[in-house]
Structure 1
Amino acid sequence: MLKKLTIASLLISATAFGASIDHVQNYTAEYGANPAQQGAINYGTTVNFNPAGLMRLENGTYFTGGLQYAFGDQSMTQNGKEFDSDLSSPIPNFAVYKKTDDGALFWTFGAVAGGASLEYKNSIPLPAGMNGMLDGTNIKGSNQYAQTTIGKAWNVNEKLSMSLGLRAVYGLRTLEANTTTNTNFPILGAGKKASIDSERTAFGVGVQLGLNYTANDRLNIGFRYDSRVKLDFKTDATINDDTLVLGEDYSISGGLLGIYPVYADGLKTRRDLPALMALGASYKVTDDWTAFIGGNYYFNKDAKMDRVGTNPGRYAYDNGWEISLGSEYKLNDKVSWLAGINYADTGAKETTYAATEYSIGSIMLGTGFKIKQDENTEWTIGYSHYFYDSTTFNGIKYEKDIRSIGFNFVKKF
């Protein structure tokens, strides 16, 4: 029984956003206001979502940057008791690109997967009676992937353009957990402490391909393919456990590492970042109003994930997908109003749900404003609210509620 004492209490992975099991799409604040950016042609987001479309912008050198702040809560309920966590995370993004008649060179940096930091101050769902043996269980976790991409776009003809980029991804998964036994703990009784401080890191590279087709002065179509990124994670962990006197098989840390060996010091495990395919279009309905549609498809099944542990169902992912609609309406020469909606199916089956992660479907609503300060400077402010499906599996109810606010600016030189 003790061997299963902490199968969840010492494991938290913070996947906050995303239509995929790992990917996020909020590369810029403008996505929060209008998520259908796959076929957009604009100064602030095209470099991220439709890089081949850079060839449809004016010649010049551009710098774009911004910051989003995600906040909300993530909770699990078992036998009427709620275990909740406040989450928060700043998400920066930067890009530089130079467009000429001969082509466009671009560089981007920002988040590509993962999510916000979480802290559960009052434990999380455990097997029957286990929380009654522990006091002061506190868990902090983060799951963050940063990317940088360099590439080039060029014209094939006056309507078709292409892009090719090389992407580097750095993944970081951290965990800090502490707990203390109470008088109900068998043999040892109260006051025995156990803690884990774990960091898992990986680095990988992939390619990015893009196509943009401008059918006429009103309709534009964008396509992007981000390849799978191979990521071999290595764990660096420090574990302190007073219950090891019972033997590893009956200690808190032994129970943890016996079921989730990925947190053992020095262990190497592979968890690829899945490939994605994005397709979208923008249509200028009137001189003041542009409508957008876009979708992403995530190749989760093709991403290799080491089957570590005794429950292969935890890795039973289907492919994920999402679809977005958006609108940009010009209120006057300086200000435009943005709005959009997104529906996402992550492809994660219920058997994959655990305290470590639960990627559930969502609807996102967003709105914001784009402000043209002058001919060379533009600001975007965006707000989004993610409404997640409420799902119950094995007696545990999983819920999320996340919002994000942010800004972006573009400067042309």
Structure 2
Amino acid sequence: MIAGSAHAGGFGLREQSSYYQGMSFAGYGTTGGGISSMYWNPASLMGAEQGLTVEAHNSGLFPVSEIDGTLSGGLLGSSSIGSGDIASDAFIPASYAAYRLNDNLIFGVGINAPFGLSTKPDMNWAAQFYSRSSSVFSVNVNPAIAYQFNDMVTVAVGVQVQYLDVSLKSADATSGAGFPRSNEISGDGVGFGVTAGVTVRPFEGTEIGVGYRSGVGHDLEGDLFASGTRSAIGLGVVTPDMVNVSARQRLTDKFRVLGTVEWTNWSRLKSPRATSDATGATLTTLHFNYNDGWFFSLGGEYDFNEKLTLRAGLGYEISPIDEEIRSTRLPDNNRWWLSAGASYNFNQHLSFDLGYTHIIPESTKINIDPSHQDYNATFGTYEADVDSHVNIISASLRYKF
């Protein structure tokens, strides 16, 4: 599993479903053509048919992000060398399986990468003291069970088992001319969380889903390499929890409209401290202090015929990162999602989904001055403009046994 540049606010990854990719994830917590909606709302497993359903989703991310600015006022000199393209192309898979035991009980499991980040500017760019490469990698296994009371109401709960690996590098200002050496903080660990959800069909053709994914606490064990010295450290990190509300409304026998509102508790991330295993002392602090994130989307799908369904959607995301805290590691901002997609049913067992998204961020600036949480007087101020966009292509296969 390879997780690339983050595309769900902060370092979250939204690319968990090819089906919903085609609608900018509108209605992603309701029962659609498959079971990938269990990622956001496990109660959507009520849509699983008798027997076993398996799905494999694959998303290719093709981001471009360049930072051009000037470092000045510090003790190490000025520089206006650009970052080059800091974003890396990435492949993100997601897999699901569901088995309906009887009319009431459905068991499901998802394997996902909910968090990811991979940014790598040119080695000696202007802001190398503030950041070089950044990497966040995750794998999450989420078994869940849903109970369908009747045709109207289903509830579900699940467990998350999550592996998280983090590595952050920056240039070492003490290593001499050219600053070839990097300081690095890294660590990994396994944590646990829960998921829950409810799906309600109050009227014929109307469905409402509410889903919850808890935060996952991690006690990462790793190393801090700084100024040529390596120390064993512990780093406590809690990923954000998320609440979403989705709706699906059938307007005609062939046309449906969908919508989603999502809140992500990024503000709980705060400022994790890396502590020495030997002494318990704080060796460094990672300043996140994000705001909460919001996502809104509206989409529709049309059954062109019995085999082919077409869909499209528009989304708007309010990033947890603004200019007050925006860093060179993750120059995130509010963004628009424009998507289109289709599904083709080869037969009653095999289906294919395709989704495409173009992401357009708003005008983005970085301003690391004395009021910024990352500011270091030795390095100086850094002011820059960020030029970025993202293309995402996603495809999946679904088989019902």
Fold shared by both chains (TM-score > 0.5): yes
Residue 348 of structure 2 aligns to which amino acid in structure 1? E
Which residue number in structure 2 is paired with residue 113 of structure 1? 115
Deviations 1:361-401 (A, max 9, x none): 11111111101010011100111111112222322223331
The 10-residue stretch of structure 1 (385-394 or 36-45) with the greater mean CA deviation from structure 2: 36-45
Residue of structure 2 in register with 1:242 after alignment: none
1:398 to 1:411, Cα distance in 2 relative to 1, 3 A: same
| 1:311 Cα deviation from its structure 2 partner | 10
Aligned to 2:350: 377
State the one-letter code of the partner of 2:386.
Answer: Y
Judged with a 3 Å threshold, the aligned counterparts in structure 2 of structure 1 residues 311 and 196 are, in CA distance, closer, same or farther, namely: closer
- Could you say if the C-alpha distance between residues 189 and 217 of structure 1 is closer, same or farther in structure 2, counting changes exceeding 3 Å? closer
For the structure 1 residues 315 and 61, does the alpha-carbon distance in structure 2 shift closer, same or farther, using more than 3 Å as the test? Answer: same
8 Å Cα contact 2:4-2:90 kept in structure 1: no
Identity of aligned residues (%): 18
Q: Is the 8 A contact 1:73 1:84 kept in 2?
A: no
Cα distance change on mapping 1:363 and 1:375 into 2, 3 Å:
same
What is the aligned counterpart of 1:401 among 379, 383, 389? 389
Q: Give distance in 1, aligned partners of 2:259 and 2:22.
A: 14
> Aligned partners of 1:234 and 1:204: how far apart in 2?
12
- Identify the range of structure 1 (356-365 vs 170-179) with the bigger mean alpha-carbon deviation: 170-179
How far apart are 1:50 and its partner, in Å?
Answer: 2.8
- C-alpha change, 1:306 and 1:118, in structure 2 (3 Å) is closer
Match of 2:223 among 233, 236, 248: 236
Contact 1:382 1:405 in 2 (8 A): yes
The reply to whether residue 39 of structure 1 matches residue 26 of structure 2 is no
Considering only aligned residues, what root-mean-square deviation do their CA atoms show, in Å?
3.0
Q: Cα 1:44–1:55, aligned 2, differ >3 Å: closer, same or farther?
A: closer
Following the alignment from structure 2 to structure 1, what is the Cα–Cα distance between the partners of residues 126 and 356? 32
Q: Which residue of 2 aligns with 1:18?
A: 8
Residue equivalent to 2:333: 360
Note the C-alpha offset of 1:234. Answer: 2.3
Contact 1:384 1:404 in 2 (8 A): yes
Is 1:301 the counterpart of 2:288? The answer is no
Q: Does the alignment pair 1:98 with 2:64?
A: no
Say if 1:301 and 1:211 are closer, same or farther in 2 by CA, change over 3 A.
same
Taking a change above 3 Å as real, the CA distance of residues 305 and 157 of structure 1, as seen in their structure-2 partners, is farther
TM-score (norm 1): 0.79
- Aligned residues, how many? 364
- Contact kept? 1:63, 1:411, Cα under 8 Å: yes
Q: Counterpart in 1 of 2:160?
A: 167
Match of 1:126 in 2: 127
* CA apart distance, 1:172: 1.4
Residue 200 and residue 313 in structure 1: after superposition, are their counterparts in 2 closer, same or farther (change >3 A)?
Answer: closer
The alpha-carbon deviation at position 196 of structure 1 amounts to 5.3
Q: Which amino acid aligns with 2:356?
A: Y
Deviation string 1:288-308 (CA, Å, 9 cap, x unpaired) is 111100011011223454256
Gaps of at least 5 residues in structure 2 are: 71-79, 275-281, 368-382
Q: How far 1:140 sits from its partner (Å)?
A: 4.3
1:200 aligned onto 2:190 = no
Show CA shifts across 1:230-257 (max 9, x none).
Answer: 12222236x5xxxxxxxxxxxxx43x99
State which drifts further: 45-54 or 117-126. 117-126
Larger mean Cα displacement after TM superposition, 24-33 or 38-47? 38-47
**Relative to total residues, which structure has the larger helix share, 1 or 2?**
1
Aligned to 2:137: 144
- Counterparts of 1:84-95 in structure 2, within 5 Å, are 84-85=84-85, 86-95=87-96
Q: 2-side partners of 1:123 and 1:16: how far apart?
A: 23
